[in-house]
Structure 1
Amino acid sequence: MEPAAIVFPIRFATGNIAVQTTTSALSEQGVLVRCLEPPPAGTAVSIKLYLPGAREAMHLDGRVREHANPGDEPGFWADFVGVADAQRAQIGEVIARRRRAADAKPIGAMALSPRDEGRRAFPRYNVQFAVRFATVQDFVLEYAANISAGGVFVRTENPPPLKTVVQVEMELPGGGIAVPARALVVHRVTKQEAQQRGTVPGVGVQFMDADDEFRRRIDAAITHILETERAA
């Protein structure tokens, strides 16, 4: 089965270093991991896949096969090692579901970014909260329009170019101190495009190179959003 473009949270660890990031693609043999400083080829890694629809993370062993090509999204391919048949079948079902979802468009519907719509594996939750982000040293205060387990859409009239790595600090729903992370720009809507489409300008980013506390805070924020919606 060919790799499928799909985004979901992933954790990998080498030695005493653990990284929470997101994927770019998945196959039954391995996964393409977003990472600014990938481990050397041949490195053994411990992997947790936070697959959509799964109650618990899937634990796998892996080995770094190769780094992404220059000009592509930063990251590396990791091959799975010793995958059980049941795990491989679960991965195959996730890939099949994503392909069906990418192909199934409502009559008359038009995706803003067909490539990214097909890759998204987790639902987005509409919520507004403060976000500071920067591509250089100075942070700019903006506001998020929605968030998912793997990324956030930030309203801004000056969206950075695609594939730009940005620093973000998010004042997440549910309170607590601002959460910092690095993220990759995977979708952008300029002010002119927003006017044409009747939407808001901004930038969609996918989280990368964070830690376990970051993942805990994101999951807690989404739980808070869901509980607030149910109580309304």
Structure 2
Amino acid sequence: MDPQFIERRRYPRARIEWSVTIKTDKGVVAGVTLNVSAGGATLRFPNPPLLHEVFEMTIRIPELDRPLMVEAQVVWSTADIVDNELTLPIIGVNFTNITDQDRWLISTAVSKFLRHKERVPTRVTTARKALKKVLEECIETDL
């Protein structure tokens, strides 16, 4: 590890693609997560909000029956260049208003995804089925 690199993240982060929609003054825009933690996410959107803008976001975790509703703020913004072409913008957000239950659900989903990924590098559907079962059990017993 680079001695100058210091991990400042409070929560583990995983490369998970979940559908999201955001609601801003410009309207409702659909996008996707590129990675997620219980404290924030990296998102790809066609028309993202501006730096420091606060907005409502709906996160759809396939293994859950209901979407999660959070308030988020853009903390950084950039665009990728792939094959010399500019891609859709990418933004980093912090969750500024999220229920304890929803933060716990995201944290649990990320942790289970990371553990399952380390143990069984097989098909994504297998990981999703296992994650869905665990989250359903957690909701029934703990919340």
Deviation at 1:162, TM superposition (A): 1.1
Give the corresponding residue for 1:133: 22
Tell me, in whole angstroms, the C-alpha distance in 2 between the residues paired with 1:120 and 1:199. Answer: 26
Equivalent position of 2:104 in the other structure: 216
The alpha-carbon deviation at position 201 of structure 1 amounts to 2.3
C-alpha separation in 1, matches of 2:39 and 2:29: 22
Deviation of the 1:141 alpha carbon: 1.4
More helix by share: 2
**Are 1:204 and 2:104 counterparts?**
no
Alignment of 1:104 with 2:10, yes or no, is no
Letter of the 1:203 counterpart: I
- Out of 169, 172, 178, which is 2:58 matched to? 169
Which one has more relative contact order, counting CA pairs under 8 Å at least 6 apart? 2
- The DSSP-based 3-state class of the residue aligned with 1:104 is coil
Tell me how large the CA RMSD over aligned residues is.
2.9
Matching of residue 151 in structure 1 with residue 40 in structure 2: yes
The aligned amino acid for 2:108 is: A
Deviation at 1:119, TM superposition (A): 4.2
Could you tell me how far apart the structure 1 residues matched to 2:38 and 2:11 are? Answer: 6
Q: Secondary structure at 2:38's aligned position in 1?
A: coil
By how many angstroms is 1:231 displaced?
Answer: 2.4
In structure 2, do the counterparts of structure 1 residues 135 and 173 end up closer, same or farther at CA, with 3 Å as the change threshold? same
Kindly provide the amino acid, as one letter, of the partner of residue 145 in structure 1.
L
CA distance in 2, matches of 1:163, 1:131: 19
Distance change >3 Å, CA 123–CA 205, structure 1 → 2: same
**1:104 and 1:200, CA in 2 relative to 1: closer, same or farther beyond 3 A?**
farther
Instruction: Give the unaligned 5+ runs of structure 2.
Output: 122-143
> C-alpha deviations, 1:99-147, integer Å up to 9, x for none?
xx8x614xxxxxxxxxxx8643434211111001121373211111110
Q: Residue 131 of structure 2 aligns with which residue? A: none
- Unaligned residue ranges in structure 1 (runs of 5+): 1-100, 106-116
The question of whether the paired residues in 2 share the 8 Å contact of 1:173 and 1:221 is answered with no
1-structure distance, mates of 2:63, 2:91: 23
Secondary structure at 1:159 match in 2: coil
TM-score (normalised: structure 1): 0.44
TM-score by length of 2: 0.68
**What is the aligned-residue identity percentage?**
28
Partner of 2:68: 179
For the structure 1 residues 228 and 168, does the alpha-carbon distance in structure 2 shift closer, same or farther, using more than 3 Å as the test? same
1:201 counterpart SS class: strand
In 2, the alpha carbon distance for the partners of 1:225 and 1:178 equals 18
C-alpha change, 1:121 and 1:220, in structure 2 (3 Å) is: closer
Q: Is the 8 A contact 1:158 1:202 kept in 2?
A: no
**Higher radius of gyration, 1 or 2:** 1
